[in-house]
Amino acid sequence: MSVQQLCVLGATGSIGASTLDVVAQHPERYEVFALSGHRRLNELAELCCRFRPVYAAVPDEASARQLRLLLEDAESIPEILIGEGGLEAIAADPRVDTVMAAIVGAAGLKPTLAAVKAGKRVLLANKEALVMSGALFIEAVRASGATLLPIDSEHNAIFQCLADPASPGLTRKGVRRILLTASGGPFRQTPAEQLIGVTPDQACAHPKWSMGRKISVDSATLMNKGLELIEACWLFEATPEQVEVVIHPQSVIHSLVDYVDGSVLAQLGNPDMRTPIAHAMAWPERIDSGVAALDLFDIARLEFERPDEERFPCLRLAREAAQAGGCMPATLNAANEVAVEAFLEGRLGFTEIPQLIESVLASAEPRPAKDLAAIFAADTTARQLAREWLARR
Ligand code: NDP
Ligand code: MG
């Protein structure tokens, strides 16, 4: 077995940390070729000392200078690349086998696509990239022969429950529907009138998962599940109608596949991202992830509820964007990114997040997602509309 050369885009984040934790457990299998960070340069410097990558990628020249300073006394200093070009270069480098795409948001699209186009084994955590570019992304995977493996725990579970994930079309696989589970987030039981006053810290205190702040807010609004619905449609060739969201507060079942013969397959495990990461890193083999064995006696009961789209309209907005197709999912994603940022900065109320997104979706022109330029144009317009909404309210 040759050692896999790994590039981690978004190494300083939560998924980055879990990935490097798995890597550290298997030094005979994985070597870190490149790491990227954005603002947390101290953390990036520590990771460079520990994993000794050939390259480190940062946003700009000032960050590069700072990283160089931080690494002054390091035994091994990586070559430092800057900007989007740097991210694309490390993702597509011919020496890289596997790319962990774990940048958050639209910023991850171009580097992730660079990895896809270079035919890499792409471990996809950056769901926003696939939501934005859908058909184009999947077409690029086909054209290059890249291997796309889902990291999102639900999609990784579905992948594991599909007998032949590579064959096209859900119906041909005998699948009736996909049951996408959701924890329900920190406000699952919060009455509508109390949602108005919830704070960023309350929204980020997820009951089951420890994650970056953007996805934590998305989990609280259920937009995360909406983005995941769109993600599932592209990954598994499903229609939005074939994906049903099920609230499952224990977060032990990570999703299910319902077959036409009445069989329902599920993947279970403790809620720890190292499981899907280790699965995707080693697939089709299995390796130890460091996650404790599931104790069913300790869990004792599993519960299921229907999502409440009155309190959490983001789920409906995402489904509508998926049905509209074209650039609408990119518009949804961009409006959501602006709304979440404004909420985290205290400039927008929690219940205003779906209001802002709905208004942007209503004002955006439906356009086909014919190329990347059209997708980025929709992204830019949506951000502009979102900022105007924020300014006039
Ligand atoms: P974090 O916020 O913890 O990490 C995000 C990473 O992206 C960091 O390395 C950050 O750098 C980097 N980054 C942020 N902005 C930019 C930018 N403009 N350009 C380049 N890099 C940037 O997020 P998570 O790790 O939680 O999530 C990462 C992705 O994985 C998201 O798409 C999320 O939806 C998905 N995901 C996460 C899960 C989880 O459990 N955390 C579960 C399933 C999916 P820095 O920190 O140095 O600023
Ligand atoms: Mg998920």
Cβ atoms of residues 200 and 217 within 8 Å = yes
CA distance 174 to 189: 36
Ranges of residues in the chain whose predicted pLDDT is under 50: none
Which residues approach ligand 1 with their CB closer than 6 A?
10-16, 37-40, 102-104, 107, 125-128, 152, 209, 211-212, 214-215, 273
Strands 264-268 and 253-259: antiparallel
Tens digit of pLDDT for each residue in 71-87? 999 999 999 999 999 99
Distance 283 CA to ligand 2 centre (A): 19
The pLDDT assigned to 173 comes to 84
Calculate how far, in angstroms, residue 174's C-alpha sits from the geometric centre of ligand 1: 35
pLDDT of 376 reads 98
Distance 57 CA to ligand 1 centre (A): 15
Residue position matching structure tokens 């049905």: 323
- Of all ligands present, the nearest one to the C-alpha of 211 is 1
What tokens appear for 93 in the block? 């480098």
Of the residues 7, 8, 9, 14, which should be mutated to test ligand 1's pocket, given the most ligand atoms within 8 Å of the CB? 14
- Short-list 51, 55, 5, 44, CA closest to 24: 51
pLDDT of 261: 96
Residue to mutate (ligand 1; options 9, 12, 15; most atoms within 8 A of CB) = 15
| Ligand 1 atom nearest 9 alpha carbon | 9
Among 91, 169, 94, smallest CA distance to 124 is for 91
Place of tokens 């980025």: 376
Antiparallel, parallel or unpaired: β 55-58 and 147-150: unpaired
Residue 243 near residue 229, CB atoms below 8 Å = yes
Q: What is the largest CA-CA distance in the chain?
A: 63
Question: What residues are paired with 180 via a beta bridge?
Answer: 245
Distance CA 171, CA 169 (A): 6
Residue 126 Cα: closest atom of ligand 1: 32
* HEC-encoded secondary structure of the chain: CCCEEEEEECCCCHHHHHHHHHHHHCCCCEEEEEEECCCCHHHHHHHHHHHCCCEEEECCHHHHHHHHHHCCCCCCCCEEEEHHHHHHHHHHCCCCCEEEECCCCHHHHHHHHHHHHCCCEEEECCHHHHHHHHHHHHHHHHHHCCEEEECCHHHHHHHHHCCCCCCCCCHHHCEEEEEEEECCCCCCCCCHHHHCCCCHHHHHCCCCCCCCHHHHHHHHHCHHHHHHHHHHHHHHCCCHHHEEEEECCCCCEEEEEEECCCCEEEEECCCCCHHHHHHHHHCCCCCCCCCCCCCHHHHCCCCCECCCCCCCCHHHHHHHHHHHCCCHHHHHHHHHHHHHHHHHCCCCCCCHHHHHHHHHHHHCCCCCCCCHHHHHHHHHHHHHHHHHHHHHC
CA angle 223, 164, 126 (to 5 degrees): 30
What pLDDT, on the 0 to 100 scale, is given for residue 153? 98
**CA nearest neighbour of 291 among 269, 312, 316:** 269
Strands 175-182 and 253-259: antiparallel
Ligand 1 atom 43: residue of nearest CA: 152
Q: How far apart are CA 33 and CA 330, in angstroms?
A: 31
Residue nearest to atom 23 of ligand 1 (CA): 212
Tell me what pLDDT residue 165 has: 67
pTM exceeds 0.85: yes
User: How many angstroms does the Cα of residue 152 sit away from the middle of ligand 2?
Assistant: 4
Which two tokens mark 162? 């599909």
Task: Using alpha carbons, select from 292, 284, 369 the residue that is nearest to residue 332.
Answer: 369
C-alpha–C-alpha distance, residues 127 and 248, integer Å: 21
pLDDT of residue 163: 73
pLDDT for 207: 84
Q: Which atom of ligand 1 is the closest one to the Cα of 105?
A: 32
Condensed to tens digits (0 to 9), the pLDDT of residues 210-257 reads 899 999 999 999 999 999 999 999 999 999 999 999 999 999 999 999
Interval between CA 125 and ligand 1 midpoint (Å)? 9
Question: For residue 56, what are the CA distances in angstroms to 25, 104, 172?
Answer: 22, 18, 43
Read off the tokens for 166: 């590579």
Phi–psi pair at 258, nearest 5 degrees: -100, 115
Which pLDDT does position 138 carry in this prediction?
Answer: 97
Q: Are 48 and 75 in contact (CB under 8 A)?
A: no
Q: Which ligand ends up closest to the CA of 157?
A: 2
Taking the centre of ligand 2 as the mean of its atom positions, its distance from the CA of residue 79, in whole angstroms, is 33
Please tell me the predicted confidence (pLDDT) of residue 305: 98
Task: Give the model confidence (pLDDT) of 27-42 as tens digits.
Answer: 999 999 999 999 999 9
Q: Rounded distance, CA 96 to CA 353, Å?
A: 39
Residue 252 in contact with residue 122, Cβ under 8 Å?
Answer: no
